[in-house]
Structure formats: C-alpha cells, structure tokens
C-alpha cells in the first residue's frame, strides 16, 4: 500500500522574499524556483501582483511567470491584492490565485488600508470572479490566531470569514498563523471546527515559527486530517506589515517530519539541502531550519558513501 500523500506548498519565492531587505532580480528569483523544482516541490507560490512601490521584492512577477519551469507539472500560484492585481495575474497566465483576508480590522488597515468588512467583500468578489473565469481561487485568513495590534482573534470570527470565502467560491482555505502565536491546543480547536464545517480536503495551514511551535502545530492539524501545508525554504520569511512575524516553518523541517512518519511529500531531502544552500547564496544570507545541520551532514555522508 502506498504512503498517504501530503501536499507541501512552498511559499519562499513570495512570502519568504517579500520581507527581505534585498530584492532579488528576475534571474535570481527564477534560479530560486528552479532549485525548488529540482528538489521535487510541485506546488509553489511564485510571487504576487502587488504594487512594486509597496513591495519592491515582487516587481516583475508577470515577466517571471512567463519563464517558470515545468509549467505542466508544477502548480504555480500568485497572490493578488485587488482587481488590478487579479487582471495582471490572469494576463500573465496565472491559473491559481490567492487573496489574503486578515481576521481583524486593524491588520487589514495596516496591510491594505481598508477595513475588515470592505476587505472581506473584495476578497469574496475575487473568489467569485475566479469561479467565473475557471481558475482556482484560494483564500488566506491571516492573523487567524492572534493579531499584533488587537491580540487574540476570536475563533468564531475566523469561522464566519471562512464560511464567507467558501460560499464565494474559494477552492481552498488557508488558515494562517501570521505572527507564529498559535499553540497546538488552539490549532486543534480552530481546525476541528473548520474541518467539521467544510471538510479537511478544503483546509490548509500556514504556520510561522516565531515561538518555536510551528512543527507541533503542523502535527496537530495533521491529526485532524489536514493534508496541505505551506512552508518556506530554510525558514525564510515574515510579513512586512506585521511586527514580530519571523520566518515561516522551514520546508526541510516539515518534509523531514512527514517523511519520517511514513507520509509521502514527493520531496527529495538531499536535493532540498542543495536548494537551501542555493537560496542562501542568492540572498547572501544564512538559511536553514531546526534540522538543517543534521540534514546537511546526512547528505554529505551519503555522497561520500556513493563514491566509496
């Protein structure tokens, strides 16, 4: 019997890069994505169609999409903040688009300068438009556990927003612990309610490792049937509009845990080590999750034995 599949959605090229002080040019962004594809990742958030003045790290995303490798084998997604971003993404041939709806008033205003109700309406309209255009629409609910400005987020509010996005046509709902404040008990409470309401197959999770609990939170959601997780190569990332939001859970940590548990991700851990090194080289900055040193030693030992 084959191992159960878990989808890893790699968000390093968008969520990971957007908060970096150094903006990579198109060639370097492409080189990063090529390294991720070579490691076996088949779901990648390649960029966003936002104002280059607001997020200069994402300038030129339309041109990047025209150059992406293995378009027929890899699902590439892009974040769109509004109708203009949606239209630019569609013109670039993007067929999986995501929106971000923060679960608090203040976070929406700090992020995109509109309130919660207005943002929810705009996101719902984009999800409905995606349905009409025959493309996949994904809805992120950010600060689903805690907001850096308003504190803990009421789970009932997240459930209401999730229902609105699903009703509008969202194919997938990604519950985001944007500042890494969640613990496994909170993840179990919120995720179980969402799974009961919409089914585990519609739910994905996005965890940050600010407090060191991201892997434990992945496990909590996994035990409730979730089989779709965001992660970022080397733990790269953080939200530029959210104080205290350090890196995403590292792809290599998530893949190592899942594969060790007998689940199948399709990702080659040794090639993933090479991808971490390549991304660190491109950014001229050290990267690596909790397990990276061990994974690098293991990969080096395997290479030596191959040549023995």
Query: Which residues form the catalytic set?
Result: 239
**DSSP state letters, 116-128:** HHHHHHHHHHHHH
Element (H, E) at 13: none
Structure-token match 């929810």, residue found: 120
Q: Which of 111, 42, 45 is nearest to 81 (CA)?
A: 111
Note the Cα 30 to chain centre separation in Å. 18
Structure-token match 């309401």, residue found: 197
Residue 113's contacts (CB-CB under 8 Å, 6 or more residues apart) are: none
CA-CA-CA-CA dihedral for 298, 302, 303, 308, to nearest 10: 140
Element (H, E) at 147: strand 146-147
**Euclidean distance between CA atoms 265 and 292, whole angstroms:** 18
């Amino acid at each position: 019997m084959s191992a159960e599949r878990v989808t890893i959605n790699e968000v390093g090229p968008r969520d990971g890069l957007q908060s970096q002080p150094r903006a990579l040019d198109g060639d370097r962004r492409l080189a990063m994505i090529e390294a991720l594809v070579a490691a076996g990742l088949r779901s990648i958030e390649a960029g966003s169609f936002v104002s280059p003045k607001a997020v200069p790290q994402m300038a030129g995303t339309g041109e990047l999409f025209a150059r992406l490798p293995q378009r027929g084998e890899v699902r590439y997604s892009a974040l769109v903040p509004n109708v203009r971003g949606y239209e630019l993404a569609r013109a670039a041939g993007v067929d999986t688009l995501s929106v971000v709806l923060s679960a608090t008033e203040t976070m929406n205003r700090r992020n995109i300068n509109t309130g919660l109700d207005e943002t929810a309406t705009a996101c719902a309209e984009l999800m409905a438009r995606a349905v009409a255009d025959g493309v996949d629409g994904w809805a992120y609910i950010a600060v689903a556990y805690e907001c850096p400005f308003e504190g803990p987020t009421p789970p009932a509010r997240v459930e209401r927003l999730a229902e609105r996005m699903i009703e509008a046509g969202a194919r997938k709902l990604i519950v985001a612990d944007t500042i890494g404040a969640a613990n496994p008990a909170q993840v179990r409470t919120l995720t179980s309610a969402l799974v009961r309401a919409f089914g585990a197959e519609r739910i994905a999770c996005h965890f940050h490792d600010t407090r060191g609990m991201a892997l434990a939170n992945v496990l909590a959601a996994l035990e409730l049937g979730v089989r779709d997780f965001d992660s970022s190569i080397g733990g790269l990332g953080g939200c530029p509009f959210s104080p205290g939001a350090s890196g995403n859970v590292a792809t290599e940590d998530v893949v190592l845990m899942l594969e060790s548990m007998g689940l199948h991700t399709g990702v080659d851990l040794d090639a993933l080590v090479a991808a971490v090194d390549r991304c660190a080289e491109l950014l001229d900055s050290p990267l690596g999750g909790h397990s990276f040193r061990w994974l690098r030693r293991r990969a080096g030992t395997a290479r030596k034995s191959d040549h023995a």
